Amino acid sequence: MTPLAAAAGSGPRALLPAVWLTNRLAEEIVGFLRLAAAVPRAVELDVTAGLEGRTVSGVWARFAPAPGFAARITARGILPWLLWLGVNLLPAQPAAVPVPPARLTDTRPVLAPIVPEQSAAALTPSEWTKHRTALLAAWRQRLGPLPAAKVALDPEILSTEELPDFTRQHVRYRVEEGVTTDGYLLTPRGRAGKLPAVVVFHQTTKSQAQQVAGLDTSNPELMHGVQLVRRGYVVWAPRCFIFGEGADYAGHVVAMQRKHPDWTGMARMTWDAVRAMDFILTQPNVDPERVGGLGHSLGAKEVLYAAAFDERYQAVVFSEGGIGLTFSNWDAPWYLGPQIRRPDFDLEHHQLMALIAPRAFLLLAGDSADSDRSEAFIAAVRPIYRLFGAEKNLGWLNHRTGHRYPPSAQTAAEDFLEAHLGR
């Protein structure tokens, strides 16, 4: 008889309770570990908008059970599932005004108040207008002066394709004297009346706007224009100036600065975004009160400035552009340049987000250019949105899948745009 059997009683049968307990405990531990590996990490989401008559507000945890999940719960017992729920889903009821998880406190950047702290609580819309004017002037000084007048667009249709569910046209127009750009106009078929529209800015890719428009099908996730036109939106997808013919990115900046010595690359992108809005509004089937913007990576940078400097953008989606000036290559010459590294550069992008208020703004992060730390920018502008009773116009999602626009991001973006622009 083993010492364990002797201590437990007489004979092998006396060992059974101890062995069963040991095995059961091991099963629970193994089951818990397998469950933790099987269930994806919780996705943090705050898309505060009315969707199809219901409100989604302050949702901080979602999960998608893996195949065989229920069977594992039955086989391994309920304890691992309860432990997983307790660890990942508390508190059970989301706060009315979402707050970031506690683990983020060490990584969130410290942002200067948009308005003096002593006046923020008592700020009125008229006082904010004064602050907004000052912020706008400060940013225009750093960006470079935009033209006071506009040349005629003189659009030219280069080609037209009739596809089963939409029409795709390649169009070229003037953005200023001696400068043209081109892009793709996507129009849904079978829809009458005034429609909502979205200006979609492409990412960094050799195929430029062709990817957004569905001519480059190598990455279906980033065919934003095709996704949106199939939901009933008119889409304009312009080419970014650094993807013009005859030079590399820096070469296009040099050529631009011969004409505009005081411009940054973002000044040109911002002016192009203004002209993109001018063009989409020439379409007779577009409702001018329901036009938004969407951009991923490079395109996210463009849509941020587009909405900050052109109030005709009513709702925008910023996907993985690196919202903080230190989060990505904002110091590149085709963006803001090395000025942002100087000690006297005292601006940050939460100020541009404040210029957008109270219009709708959704930030999509993927733990790459944007991550949990990006939520600090949402928190920084929330008081300005609150001033206008428009906190639900701010949205935030970290899909945690990298520098992508996965289905979860697409769903959040399209639901957000539909809530603010309709269909």
Distance of CA 61 to the CA centre of its chain: 18
The SS3 call for residue 319 is: strand
How large is the C-alpha radius of gyration of the chain? 26
Task: Please determine, for residue 179, whether its predicted confidence score (pLDDT) is greater than 90.
Answer: yes
Task: Please determine, for residue 4, whether its predicted confidence score (pLDDT) is greater than 70.
Answer: no
Residue 106: per-residue pLDDT: 52
Task: Please determine, for residue 239, whether its predicted confidence score (pLDDT) is greater than 50.
Answer: yes
At 287, give phi and psi (nearest 5°): -80, 115
Confidence of residue 416 (pLDDT cuts 50, 70, 90): very high
Whole-number Å distance between alpha carbons of 201 and 198? 10
- The mean pLDDT of 232-250, rounded to a whole number, is 92
- The mean pLDDT of 307-331, rounded to a whole number, is 97
pLDDT tens-place string over residues 244-302: 887 888 899 999 999 999 999 999 999 999 999 999 999 999 999 999 999 999 999 99
117-121, 354-358, 368-372: which range is least confident on average? 117-121
Residue 395: per-residue pLDDT: 97
Locate CATH 3.40.50.1820 in the chain: 117-421
Residue 2: per-residue pLDDT: 38
Q: Which residue has the higher pLDDT, 104 or 268?
A: 268
Those residues whose C-beta lies under 8 Å from the C-beta of residue 196, and which sit 6 or more positions away, are: 232, 233, 234, 286, 287, 290, 291, 292, 417, 421, 422, 423
Task: Please determine, for residue 371, whether its predicted confidence score (pLDDT) is greater than 80.
Answer: yes
- The mean pLDDT of 220-241, rounded to a whole number, is 97
CATH number listed for the domain at residues 117-421 = 3.40.50.1820
Task: Please determine, for residue 38, whether its predicted confidence score (pLDDT) is greater than 60.
Answer: no
Q: Which helix (H) or strand (E) holds 209?
A: helix 209-212
Q: Is 275 exposed, middle or buried (0-12, 13-18, 19+ CB in 10 A)?
A: buried
DSSP code string of 232-274 = T-EEEEEPPGGG-TTS-HHHHHHHHHHH-TT--HHHHHHHHHH
Q: Which residue has the higher pLDDT, 170 or 51?
A: 170
Task: Please determine, for residue 93, whether its predicted confidence score (pLDDT) is greater than 90.
Answer: no
Whole-number Å distance between alpha carbons of 396 and 59? 10
- The mean pLDDT of 161-165, rounded to a whole number, is 97
94: tokens are 């989301």
- Of 395, 330, 409, the closest CA to residue 366 belongs to 409
Residue 122: per-residue pLDDT: 75
222-259 residues labelled b (16+ CB within 10 A) or e (exposed): bbbbbbbbeeebbbbbbbbbbbbeeeebeebbeebbee
Residue 248: per-residue pLDDT: 87
At 197, give phi and psi (nearest 5°): -140, 155
Residue 62: per-residue pLDDT: 31
